[in-house]
Chain A
Amino acid sequence: MKKFLFLAILVVFSFAAKKEAIIIVNGMTCPLCTMAVKTSLKHTPGVISAKVILHNKTATVIYDDTKTTPKKLLKAIEIVGYSGKIKEIKEVK
C-alpha cells in the first residue's frame, strides 16, 4: 500500500506543471482595484502567486495547471467585477 501511495505521489509530481498566465484586466480604475483582483486570484485553488499592475492593466499569475485552468482564473477576476482576457500562457521552469 505504501509503495502504491509513493508511486501515486511520484506520478502526480511528474505531471504537475507550473504555468504563467498573463491576463489583460479591464475595468480597473484605481490602485485598490488591483487588490480586489489580486485577492480573488490568490484565493483560487492552484494559484501560486499573482501580481496585478494598474497602469498596464495586467495580471501575471503563476499557477499549477493540474489544479486550475485559465478559465477559472478569468472567473476569479469576473467575480470581483472586472473582466479578463488571456494574453499569453507559458510554461514556468
Chain B
Amino acid sequence: MKRRDFLKTSAALGVLSAMPSVSFAKDDEVRRFRVQYFFNIKYPAKEYPARLWNPMPYNADYQHVRILNFDGNYNEYDLNNNNEYSANTFYAKWNKSDMPKIVLMEMVVETKYRTVPIDKIEWASKQNLPYPKEVKKYLLPTAHIPTTGIIKALADRIVGDTKDRFERVKKIYYWCTAHTYRDKKVIGCGKGDVRKMVKPEPIEEIYKKGYFGGKCTDLSSLFVALTRAAGIPAREVFGIRLGKSHFDKALGKSDKNGFANITTWQHCRAEYYIPGAGWIPTDPADITKLELVEHLKYDDPKVQTLVKKYLHSWEMNWMAFNHARDFVLYPRPVQYPLNMFGYPYAEVNDDVLNYYVPKSFEYKITSQEIF
C-alpha cells in the first residue's frame, strides 16, 4: 500500500457536522478523533540502530482515516500492508548513531457505531450459505488459536446438537461471557495463548466450573478458538480505545474537553462470520471489564444490557488496526512470527523492545475528540 492510499484531504471533514452527544445505541453517530503518536526509541547503549513497526488503522464502513501526517529523523520509512493479513503498517528504520530516534504521527479518524441487526443475522444463518474462499482461513488454527483437542471437545460440549450457525455462536458467546473474568495481574492485553488458558481437565468440569481469567486478547482468543472449533469463521480485531464511552466509563473515558492519554488503551475485540450477514462485531472481553471496574455481577441488568449489545455490535470510541495472528511483519524483523500486532513493535539488532512498557520503549499516544 502506498502512502497516498492513507492520505486523505481534510475537505471531507467539513461535510460532517459535529454531532451532539447521544446515547450508546444511536447507530448513525459519527465521532471524530485526532490521534497523535510520539516515538523516541530508547536503548541502553550510546550508539545503536533501531527499527519500528507501528500498527495503523484500516478503512471500513465504521471507521475512516481522514488525515494522516508523520515526520521523524528516520533513515528509511515505509507504509505497507505486505503481510499475510494485509495489516497496515508504518515502518521506520534508523542507522546506528547516537542521535535520538524520533517519529511524530497525527491522524484524524472518523468512527461510526457498528452493529449488524439481529434479524438480519438470524435470516442469513438460516440460509446456511457456503463460506467464501477468503474467509475459510479463519476456520484454521494458529500457534495461539488451537481448534482441536480440548478446545474442540469444549466447543462441542457448549454447542451440543445445535445446527444453526448463529445459535452456535450465541451459545459460545454466552458461555464465554459467563465463564471468564478480567485478571488484573495479566500484563497488557495478554498473549492470547489459548493453549495455556484451558488446562486438560474433564470436559464436564471445564464446561460447568471453568472460569478463565485474562485480558482482552486472552478472552477474545478463547472466543475465537471455540467459535472456529465449532465450524464458524472468527478472528480477533486489534485496536485502541480513543475516548469516552457513552455506556460506561469502564469502557473508555476522557477529560471534559474530550482529551485522553491512550498510550496503554490497546483493546482486542472479535468478529465472526455468517454468510449473507458478513463479519459481525462482538466483544466478549469488555463484559468482564465492566464487571470488574464497576463491581457488577454477570446478572446485573447493566451487564446484561452490554452482553446483548456486544453479541453483534461495537461502540466506536475505538479504532481497529488488524486481525493478524502469528504472522510475519514487513520488512521482516529479526524475531518472528509476531503473535499479535496491537502494539508498536521495535527491535535494536535482535533485541525486542518491551512494548508493554511505553516509558522504556519509548512511545506516547493521545486522542482528542473533535466535537
Contact surface of A with B, Cβ cutoff 8 Å: 29-32, 34-35, 38, 51-55
Contacts and interface: CB of A to CB of B under 8 A. Distances in A.
Given A54-B336, A54-B337, A31 B193 contact: no
Central interface residue in A29, A34, A52, A53, by most chain B CB within 10 Å = A29
Contacts of A38: 351
- Contact residues of B: prevailing secondary structure: loop
Nearest to A52: B350
B253 interface: no
A29 B326 CA distance: 9
Interface of B: 143-144, 191, 193, 333-339, 345, 347, 350-352, 354-356
B193 A55 contact: no
A32 B356 CA distance: 10
B311 to A, nearest CB: 30
Contacts, number: 38
A29 B143 contact: yes
A35 to B, nearest CB: 5
A32 B339 CA distance: 10
Nearest to B143: A29
A55 B351 CA distance: 14
A75 B77 CA distance: 41
B335 A34 contact: yes
A35 B336 contact: no
14 contacts: A29-B193, A29-B339, A30-B339, A31-B335, A31-B336, A31-B338, A31-B339, A31-B347, A34-B352, A35-B352, A38-B351, A54-B335, A54-B336, A55-B336
A56 to B, nearest CB: 11
A91 to B, nearest CB: 24
A34 B350 CA distance: 9
Nearest to B328: A55
Given A53-B334, A53-B335, A55-B337, A30 B350 contact: no
Contacts of A55: 335-337
B334 A30 contact: no
